[in-house]
Amino acid sequence: MRAVIQRVLEASCKVDGEITGQIGIGFMILLGIEEADTDEDLQWLAQKITGLRVFSDENGLMNKSLADIDGDILLISQFTLFAATKKGNRPSFLRAARPDKAVPIYEQMIKTLKMITGKEIATGLFGADMKVSLVNDGPVTIMIDTKNRE
- For residue 83, the enclosing domain spans 2-145
At 97, the amino acid letter reads A
Q: How far apart are CA 87 and CA 96, in angstroms?
A: 17
Helix, coil or strand: residue 116: helix
Domain count for the chain, please give it: 1
User: One of 38, 80, 123, 141 is an active-site residue; which one?
Assistant: 80
* pLDDT tens sequence for the chain (150 residues): 999 999 999 999 999 999 999 999 999 999 999 999 999 999 999 999 999 999 999 999 999 999 999 999 999 999 999 988 888 898 888 889 999 999 999 999 999 999 999 999 999 999 899 999 999 999 999 999 999 987
CATH (domain of 132): 3.50.80.10
Single out the residue of 5, 31, 4, 9 nearest to residue 22, CA to CA. Answer: 9
Assigned domain for 150 exists: no
pTM value is 0.94
141 is catalytic: no
